[in-house]
Amino acid sequence: MARGETNEGKGPLYRLYINRLRRRLDPGSVPRHLAMMIDGNRRWARQLGYDSAAHGHRAGAAKMKEFLRWCDDVGIRVVSLYLLSNDNLRKRDSQELSDLIEIIAELADELSHERDWRVKHVGRSDGLPPDLARVLSDVEARTHGNPGMHVNLAVGYGGRGEIVDAVRSIIAQHDERGGSLEELAASLTPEQIGEHLYTGGQPDPDLVIRTSGEQRLSDFLLWQSAHSEFYFVEALGPDLREVDFLRAIRDFASRDRRYGG
């Protein structure tokens, strides 16, 4: 597992190195779908002496905009960002959660005006504050016809809940057709479940990146990441650099993917 260092400068030599990494990337070897778990925002704020985690979450949101531009620049077609889990909605301090919800709403709106990206909410809307749910719905409608990079915002998301929702959708659809449970059990396939996930119709993530040195999935894209590659970066979320990203893509391109072998 590869990890990025965090103390490199951004002078001329750094830019030269970045440009060299970009030139050496084979466009055919970059992930089609990249999933990002940005972690460490609260630790970042604490280490810098801020009295509120909101400073870290705002820095993390700014980094996500930058990160998405990096992805677009190397030709990645789908990016999924894990922004707010169902567990976060239940466990976070009320003031921190209120701040985070406001930051996510601002980020979603800003992304809907970036380049020609298509922004999609993945997660349950019914458990979200109405204002945030409305912003996500408006952003999705506003960008629906955009031809550019597809950006999934996982908000109010849980991988186990997504699978449950997919199965419920399949059962409801089957019931509308008048089929029996026995027929459904006999015909159910992994591909059918995949079609009913929040990301139905999209390729599964080829690469999952997580910052801050944490090495767990945290209920993110459980079904879709069955054959994904993983890359863990030591840098806290707001400290992620383009060189860390490019090294992750280079590392991914060098791997021999065996799909369960």
User: Is position 219 within any domain?
Assistant: yes
User: Is position 260 within any domain?
Assistant: no
User: Is position 234 within any domain?
Assistant: yes
Residue 146: predicted pLDDT: 98
Residue 38: predicted pLDDT: 93
Q: What DSSP line would sit under the chain, residue for residue?
A: -----S----SHHHHHHHHHHHHH--GGGS-SEEEEE---HHHHHHHTT-S-THHHHHHHHHHHHHHHHHHHHTT--EEEEEEEEHHHHHHS-HHHHHHHHHHHHHHHHHHTTSTT-EEEEES-STTS-HHHHHHHHHHHHHHTT--S-EEEEEEEE-HHHHHHHHHHHHHHHHHHTT--HHHHHHH--HHHHHHTSTTTTSPPPSEEEE-TT----TTSSTTGGGG-EEEE--S-GGG--HHHHHHHHHHHHH----TT-
Q: Tell me: pLDDT of 1 over 70.
A: no
Q: Compare 214 and 117 and report the one with higher pLDDT.
A: 117
Structural domain total, the chain: 1
Tokens for 64? 């996500």
Report phi then psi at 83, rounded to 5: -105, -35
Residue 259: predicted pLDDT: 63
User: Is position 136 within any domain?
Assistant: yes
Residue 258: predicted pLDDT: 72
Q: In which domain, by residue range, is 41 found?
A: 30-158+204-254
> Of all residues in the chain, what percent carry a pLDDT higher than 70?
95
Instruction: List active site positions.
Output: 39, 88
Residue 257: predicted pLDDT: 75
The dihedral sign for the CA sequence 70, 72, 76, 79 = positive
Average pLDDT over residues 58-72: 97
Tokens for 86? 């169902």
pLDDT digit string, tens, across residues 81-93:
999 999 989 887 7
Average pLDDT over residues 91-112: 94
Q: What DSSP line would sit under 5-50, residue for residue?
A: -S----SHHHHHHHHHHHHH--GGGS-SEEEEE---HHHHHHHTT-
pLDDT digit string, tens, across residues 158-215:
999 999 999 999 999 998 989 888 999 999 999 999 999 999 999 999 999 999 999 9
Domain harbouring 125, CATH code? 3.40.1180.10
256 pLDDT band, cuts 50/70/90, is: confident
User: Is position 174 within any domain?
Assistant: no
Least confident of 139-148, 207-216, 233-242, 252-261: 252-261
User: Is position 25 within any domain?
Assistant: no
Other C-beta atoms lying within 10 Å of the C-beta of residue 4: 22
User: Is position 58 within any domain?
Assistant: yes
User: Is position 9 within any domain?
Assistant: no
**Residue 47 CA: distances (Å) to CA of 50, 52, 53, 135, 232:** 8, 11, 11, 32, 21
Residue 2: predicted pLDDT: 39
Average pLDDT over residues 228-253: 96
